[in-house]
Every structure is written in structure tokens, then in C-alpha cells.
């Protein structure tokens, strides 16, 4: 059977900025027959995520992320529909997902490694299982619950950097739902800031490309910052940390400003910022959602309930066509999208 697939064409280098040309679309084939325990699936949606930047390097800098190999098919979160099955628990027409879905139009996969999806849980919006009701939503929810120490009635202020991105846009809303009394986002355009406030219920948003971020933070968070959901690292995080309260908490979700630099993860703080962190007893611990998979099922159901009730607003940036996944990756790394970056492979 003839298929299309996307392979890693070249590496940008540890300090390089990824471009669409780092990926290559090519024609390939898969077997015509399905073996026992396998299913043949048609790919519907693929997820494009910031962590994938690390997989473009020969050394990902992580013990849980494997590098993509040159001229080999890339993979990540994906959703598809079963077209043929020799697996006891999966039938033709079932919708399924995997964290290691190959970037190709169709595939033969081990049925044991697939999770069956129930579209009704997300009002039929299957792609949400890659974002708000998937690993992205889990990262936001479990990050806040496990590392944020949010308590209803504690009058806590949360700041979210990268707030218009896939995880940040959910984290601010979840912070509110979990009990924060004030939520402030930091994003890169006026449009993103407007969406955060008017659509997603943030109290305020700062365009870090305009004006004095430290001054705006002091005005918008007069009582200081109690919880910081950190998606970006770098200068923005140093500014936020300087205004954090005693015994406050950093949820170390991502450091996208550092992904094109040859630095360890999490990157060390500058001496002055590290001094503030230690003097104020601010927690800053590496957070990996895969360490909390025992809480996955209940957490996904909570996310789905919020979606169904309209309490969790979801934004997606959808690019059509497998051939455009490289461009979608480049756009995401440049901060050009709002919410989750999704590639629609087939309808």
C-alpha cells in the first residue's frame, strides 16, 4: 500500500532555529496484510509540540526522549481511525491515539500500544484529545496540582508565561478553576493578550514586546506572585521570579526560549535570580507529566467535564495537509500560533 510520510531531512544544530526544510515529504509503502495483534489505521490528526525541538538533536538532553533519526519517519502524538483490525479489543471504525504516532498518512500499528477514544467526551472534537483532553491538558492540570500548591480561598495570584500557547492558555484557566483568585498571562502580541482576557478569562495579559514588563507586573500583581507557570524561561522568567512572594512556587513546564541554545535542561538561573529563589524559598522543580500517569484517567475525565460544561475554552491552530507539517513546526517555534498546533492529515 502506497503512503506519504514525513522524515527528518536535516538537523538544525543545537543552537539553530528549525525551518520547514528540516523535514521532507516522501512516498513509501506499508504491508498489504495485517498480522495478529495489529491494526491498519488512517491518520486523521497529528500534534506539533515544542518538546519536539529536542528530538531534532542527536542528543535530546533527556533520558526519556529519543532523537529522531535522519531520513527516518518522525513521530509524536496522533489520532486515527481503524480501517482493518486483527486485535481483540479494536474494531474497524474505532478512533485511536498514541504518543508515538508516525507522521504518515496510514500505518500498521501494534494494537496494544493504542488507546481507544470516546468522541462524545469532547463533544465530537477528536483533535482535543491531542490538546486540552490529552497530554497538553494533563501537563497543565497535573502541573498545577502537583507543583503549584493552589488552594481555594488562599487569595493566590498566578502568572503564566507563553500564555497563548497550547499549555499556557489552558494553565491559566485551570489555575482559576483550581482556586487562584487572580491570573495574569504574558504573551507576544496584542491579539493574543486580547484573546486571553476576553475569551479565556484571564484577569489581565502583558505583551512582553511592548513596554516595561516588570512595571506592568507590579501594577497587575500588587500583592506579588504566588504561582508561576513557566513555559518560556529566560529574561521573562527572571522578571517574574523577581516579584514572587515568600514560599511561592514555580511550575517548570517548558523553557521554549532556551530550546535553540546548547544549555542543560532545566537551564540554570542567573546568580541574582537564583539568590532570590533561595532567599524566598521558591520551589522550582522539574516537572514531567509522564511521572503521574497513575492519575491520567481521572484527570482526563476532569478535563473533558470542564470542556463539556464550557468552563475550559479551547483554541487550536489547524494546518491542513501532511506536506505542511514542517511549516507548522516552524511557525509554532516562532510563536506564530494561538493554542494547540494541529495538523489535519485526513478528514
Domain locations in the chain?
Answer: 2-131+315-344, 135-290
What local confidence, expressed as pLDDT, does residue 260 receive? 42
Tell me the three state secondary structure of residue 91. coil
What local confidence, expressed as pLDDT, does residue 315 receive? 94
Intervals of the chain under pLDDT 70: 255-265
Grid coordinates representing 175 are 489555575
What local confidence, expressed as pLDDT, does residue 60 receive? 83
**Distance from C-alpha of 180 to C-alpha of 151, rounded to nearest angstrom:** 7
Architecture field, domain 2-131+315-344: Alpha-Beta Complex (3.90)
Architecture field, domain 135-290: 3-Layer(aba) Sandwich (3.40)
**C-beta separation of 9 from 20 below 8 A:** no
**Distance from C-alpha of 250 to C-alpha of 255, rounded to nearest angstrom:** 12
Q: Is 195 exposed, middle or buried (0-12, 13-18, 19+ CB in 10 A)?
A: buried
What local confidence, expressed as pLDDT, does residue 194 receive? 97
What local confidence, expressed as pLDDT, does residue 264 receive? 54
What local confidence, expressed as pLDDT, does residue 256 receive? 58
What local confidence, expressed as pLDDT, does residue 263 receive? 47
Tell me the three state secondary structure of residue 48. strand
What local confidence, expressed as pLDDT, does residue 261 receive? 44
Grid coordinates representing 251 are 511550575
Amino acid at each position: 500500500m502506497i503512503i506519504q510520510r514525513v522524515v527528518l531531512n536535516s538537523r538544525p544544530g543545537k543552537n539553530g532555529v528549525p525551518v520547514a526544510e528540516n523535514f521532507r515529504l516522501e512516498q513509501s509503502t506499508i504491508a498489504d496484510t495485517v498480522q495478529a495483534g495489529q491494526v491498519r489505521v488512517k491518520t486523521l490528526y497529528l500534534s506539533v509540540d515544542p518538546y519536539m525541538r529536542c528530538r531534532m538533536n542527536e542528543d535530546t538532553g533527556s533520558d526519556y526522549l529519543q532523537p529522531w533519526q535522519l531520513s527516518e519517519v518522525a513521530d509524536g502524538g496522533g489520532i486515527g481511525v481503524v480501517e482493518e483490525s486483527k486485535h481483540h479489543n479494536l474494531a474497524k471504525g474505532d478512533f485511536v491515539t498514541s504518543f508515538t504516532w508516525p507522521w504518515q498518512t496510514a500505518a500498521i500499528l501494534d494494537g496494544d500500544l493504542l488507546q481507544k477514544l470516546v468522541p462524545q467526551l469532547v463533544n465530537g472534537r477528536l483533535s482535543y484529545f491531542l490538546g486540552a483532553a490529552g497530554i497538553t491538558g494533563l501537563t497543565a492540570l497535573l502541573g498545577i496540582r502537583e507543583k503549584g500548591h493552589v488552594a481555594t480561598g488562599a487569595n493566590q495570584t498566578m502568572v503564566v508565561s507563553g500564555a497563548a500557547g497550547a499549555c499556557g492558555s489552558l494553565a491559566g484557566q485551570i489555575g482559576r478553576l483550581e482556586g487562584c483568585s487572580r491570573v495574569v498571562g504574558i504573551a507576544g502580541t496584542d491579539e493574543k493578550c486580547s484573546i486571553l482576557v476576553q475569551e479565556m478569562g484571564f484577569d489581565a495579559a502583558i505583551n512582553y514586546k511592548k513596554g516595561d514588563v516588570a512595571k506592568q507586573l507590579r501594577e497587575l500583581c500588587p500583592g506579588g506572585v504566588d504561582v508561576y507557570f513557566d513555559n518560556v524561561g529566560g529574561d521573562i522568567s527572571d522578571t517574574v521570579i523577581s516579584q514572587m512572594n515568600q514560599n511561592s512556587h514555580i511550575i517548570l513546564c517548558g523553557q521554549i526560549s532556551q530550546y535553540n541554545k546548547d544549555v542543560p535542561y532545566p537551564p540554570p538561573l542567573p546568580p541574582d535570580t537564583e539568590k532570590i529563589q533561595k532567599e524566598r524559598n521558591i520551589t522550582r522543580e522539574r516537572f514531567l507529566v509522564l511521572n503521574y500517569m497513575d492519575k491520567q484517567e481521572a484527570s482526563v475525565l476532569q478535563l473533558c467535564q470542564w470542556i463539556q460544561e464550557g468552563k475550559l475554552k479551547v483554541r487550536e491552530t489547524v494546518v491542513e495537509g501532511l506536506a505542511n507539517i514542517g511549516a507548522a513546526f516552524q511557525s509554532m517555534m516562532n510563536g506564530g500560533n494561538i493554542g494547540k498546533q494541529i495538523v489535519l492529515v485526513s478528514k
